[in-house]
Amino acid sequence: MKRKLFGTDGVRGTANTYPMTAEMALKLGAAAGRHFRRDGSNGHRVVIGKDTRLSGYMFETALTAGLTSTGMNVLLLGPVPAPAVGFLTRSMRADLGIMVSASHNAHQDNGIKFFGPDGFKLSDADEAAIEEIAMGEITPAQPANIGRVKRIEAAGGRYVEYAKTTLARGTSFSGMKVVLDSANGAAHRVAPQLLWELGAEVINIGNTPDGTNINRDCGSTYPRHCAAKVLETGADLGITLDGDADRVILIDERGQIADGDQLMALFARRFAQAGLLREGVLVATVMSNLGLERYLERNGLRMERTAVGDRYVVERMRQGGWNLGGEQSGHIVMSDYATTGDGMLAALQFLAAMVETGKPASMLSHCFEPVPQMLRNLRTAPGVDLLSQAEVKAVIEDAKQRLEGRGRLLIRKSGTEPLVRVMAECEDEALMAEIVNGIIAEMEAVA
């Protein structure tokens, strides 16, 4: 069955527009309940977390109604990071975890992500099964078997306590000044608490959510405000999260930005030196810079590339038995500690490296010189497949021939937004720009 609802990271779209409607959320909740409550008993439970979007209340309520209607007991976590939902699903022995968030998207979007009882995101097969049930008639539970609902007030605190256990015993960030931008999102409470409990002086920005300002001119997709604050306050490090805190971008004491590729390079080297990097492999996506791949090779390590999306990174890690992966965008997956990308755990590991080495952030956050890379996005109309147009295909084929042996070209549809992404890497920046701009221009001409 071809999936109509689920994309690369759950169900996502504009709130109150199909498929992100309260009606569909209720159906998805009921379908997930029916799928996971296989034995008909009343001992099944689901944890639901969310970020700070205004529409989160609507979807949390609709999902709860659907789940309880099929006999699932629901534990409401409130605003918590997405990786906390993965952790708490497993920790609280739940059958299912749900995060209501559209991650780095603007406030008008929202999404529903599902986690299995092991804390990992659901398989394609489970998502397809839930979608098929949602599209049909769903049998409700008998009145006596309707599920119960309970709000878990200390959910954030449980995650904070766990996060501290990922560091060596006695690790302290005392004397360190950190600017923290929580993107007015899910981590606006737990992230400052976590750093404060570890001894850091925390300067908070992006921590006053109002339902509509999540990711707006802040967070990992807009790190310039954090960089300016680092320079203004003389901070040792800037940490920028996205709306659900599963990704992080860091700022060094000079105001320079370090993306996920640089963090993966640092962690891969440190893990390998400590004998912790399994088989010397780092899993990254096709978007990661060629410079990272070359850096790993120089250090006797190897990169495994996957399709874009942290779920594909995690799947490849699990298949190969590897324990480190991520994306250039800042998803860092350390499977020894978490089941998905976790921005705060990555930030903690970086701070720990600063403490252990005594080096400033600028000496740790620039491991390699990136190959020049250019990325442009083109928004597309619904139902229009620009990449199937003959004129566009011809331009792309010509571009590949011109780049052969000199760089890389990657063109793909976004799995979370109506966008076509065109990315090229090449030491010849003029050629790179000519190729990317030419492809975009051709797609605009036939759109």
The set of catalytic residues is 103
- DSSP labels, 19-34: TBSHHHHHHHHHHHHH
Which helix H or strand E contains 440, and what residues bound it?
helix 429-446
Angstrom distance (rounded) from CA 234 to CA 184: 23
Tokens of 174: 């005392």
- DSSP labels, 83-143: HHHHHHHHHTT-SEEEEE--TTS-TTEEEEEEE-TTSSBPPHHHHHHHHHHHTS--PPPPG
Q: What angle do CA 86, 92, 98 make, to 5 degrees?
A: 40
Query: Residue 280 carries which DSSP code?
Result: G
Q: Single out the residue of 214, 222, 439, 249 nearest to residue 341, CA to CA.
A: 249
Helix-, strand-, coil-residue percentages of the chain, each rounded to 5:
40, 20, 40
Q: What angle do CA 160, 161, 163 make, to 5 degrees?
A: 65
CA distance to 128, 144, 162, 398, per residue, from 332 (Å): 27, 44, 17, 35
- Judged by DSSP in three states, 7 sits in strand
Q: Single out the residue of 53, 51, 50, 54 nearest to residue 64, CA to CA.
A: 50
Q: At what angle do helices 190-197 and 343-357 cross, to 10 degrees?
A: 20
Tokens of 149: 């609902």
